[in-house]
Amino acid sequence: MNVRDITDAEVYELGLEVLLDKLGHAGTIRFLQQCEPTTGDYTVKRHKWLDGLDMETIMQGIQKLR
């Protein structure tokens, strides 16, 4: 089967079948809940977070992980 030859709806249905087969009902539900669209603009949030970091803070974080 070539996924280029089927519709998006068919890809979705096949994906659900694979998830159900591998994860079962509860696992599939948990997976789908994690894939829900988020609100807001990730790029803006990311820049606010990264712009607030300086090299010293980054190095301290690395040292803590070691």
List the beta strands (DSSP E) in 1-66.
Answer: none
What pLDDT, on a 0 to 100 scale, did the predictor assign at position 11? 92
pTM confidence score:
0.50
| Range 26-35 burial, b when 16+ CB lie within 10 A, else e | eebeeeeeee
SS3 state at 36: coil
Listed as ranges, residues in the chain with pLDDT below 50 are: none
Identity of residue 50: L
| Alpha-carbon distances, residue 62 vs 4, 44, 47, 54, 65 (angstroms) | 43, 24, 20, 13, 5
1-11: per-residue pLDDT in tens? 787 889 999 99
What pLDDT, on a 0 to 100 scale, did the predictor assign at position 23? 95
What pLDDT, on a 0 to 100 scale, did the predictor assign at position 49? 81
